[in-house]
Structure 1
């Protein structure tokens, strides 16, 4: 089958990741009386009729049935319909199939640029495609649409990963560690991966094909709201599955504000968003308090932590969160010393809450003296 593409699938690297095995040959093509725009509020390209304009694209030639099944999974989850278009090529007009957006999708303003998209979004898009096609069988369109935000969040988490300083620890070369898939990942929301790990040993040898299992999570933003004038913090109370699965008699935990860092979002942007959504607070300053792996022996989860300065006049607990996310949250404004007492008594059992309280204990005097102090 011949497929005309006008957006991200013009990228040969992404097309190879989506279409999978098999030859890929293409021809430049133009669809007249159409133009490509960004989707409103997003970086995804959108094609719409536009008299007198031209949509530049490619025709991918002679795609196999297997390749088309993968492409249909990738495009069809978002309501894109499949239909014929007549395009112009260097050899004259040609008919091909194309994925076209649903009629109720609105275009954005301006022009969409493949080069600009590739600079910032190609690498995580390839990672997301790899994640999608590791599912066996492939999810149906409705299921994939529900799964897609987490697929993208996992991809962007991998894309954000950078090397921290290595002044004491081992400074590896890329060839010093290999993580090979031993089985397809399991799970739809989070993923569980069985691997075989090979790595350089401290004695100069090499550890070969070690069986390992890991939990593939996402990046998160964690914020402890703090009012330096009143010396008050806010803790979030909610029921948590982990303690319940451990048979903890009381799985209602006290935590900071927390949430997933979405695709195309910075951790700081996620922090500000989550404080607004969960605690209904506006921050006057966001102080980075450290970023770290939570359980590096078996999990990719990575926490970006902050203390958020704000105004906390309220004293009584109040309800927060978003109904459409099924959040059942109770917010507890309290004095800093009261929060430390809960840490000392063991009532606070979550690592991020303890960590941020102790970070704040270190910097609290400076912030109370001057909320604009350099920390």
Structure 2
């Protein structure tokens, strides 16, 4: 038989306190065990989502880069088609001008022929009126001249007069007929020439239409790639914004200021004219508007890159630039252009004429520009990439000058 020992009040209190302490410790441990995995899992999920977003962004950027390569190739093809179309349009205009001249000459000669025929008709009418009796039969009537003469002297006189009239009129008619025949031959020759010119014009017109159709097809393909790139870029922007929000939810990480790779701006120079430095960069003038300074800074960023046909057209970012691609990049840096242009596109960009700070010169084959008195240029079709120059070009007469509004 068991006997229970009586518990004192102090013993019961100590036992209750110990039980409460054990229960609290168990709750703390349980909370810690359950809270840590939840916290760790949330951070891991966030990082995983950010990594997935970055992977999608990288994939989209790769697709955009491929689109840009396609666009660059199309830009090169398009430039050739535009140049060919311009040549054909010039040939067509020349043939049309020659045809217009021949048609005008032909109309004039036809009018002349009509006048000669009228003169011939009038000459025949006069001849009929003056020799009604003696010329209509084909030869002078001796009997009528004898009967009409009062004496022998008058007979001789009438006969000589009739012969003279006949000879004169026959001479006039012969000359008019010869002139008519010459004009008819000339008209026939001009008709042949007209047909040849019409055939040449039609052939060039057909070739021009074909070149324009090819150009339009390339333009359409280029527009499709640009639309695709724009849609992908919008998706990238949305994904990067989402990644930014996720990163904001993570603890801040202190960054080492020394790791920053932001470019150092070239210090400005006094006055209103930029200066080309010994390292090839350019220093913007202190008096220039900020947009002009930004254009020069953007130009400095690409001066060491090589010439690349079509570079800078599919996207402002490129491993190399051609003439118009370099201008597009620099002007975009100044906020003056939203999408790349080729050299032909610059002939209608902005406002006509030279600007106070920036002037772009363009034609179907090349483009360059002056910024605060210095020139950003490349070679025409290869070789030297973007570079600054302090000297002026002397062949601006063959280019169209344009400038941004207000500059």
Task: Specify the TM-score bucket, using the shorter chain as the normaliser.
Answer: under 0.3
If asked which structure has higher relative contact order (CA below 8 Å, sep 6+), I would say 2
TM-score, normalised with respect to structure 2: 0.15
**Structure showing the higher strand proportion among its residues:** 1
Higher-helix-fraction structure: 2
Q: TM-score, normalised by structure 1?
A: 0.16
Bigger Rg, structure 1 or 2: 2
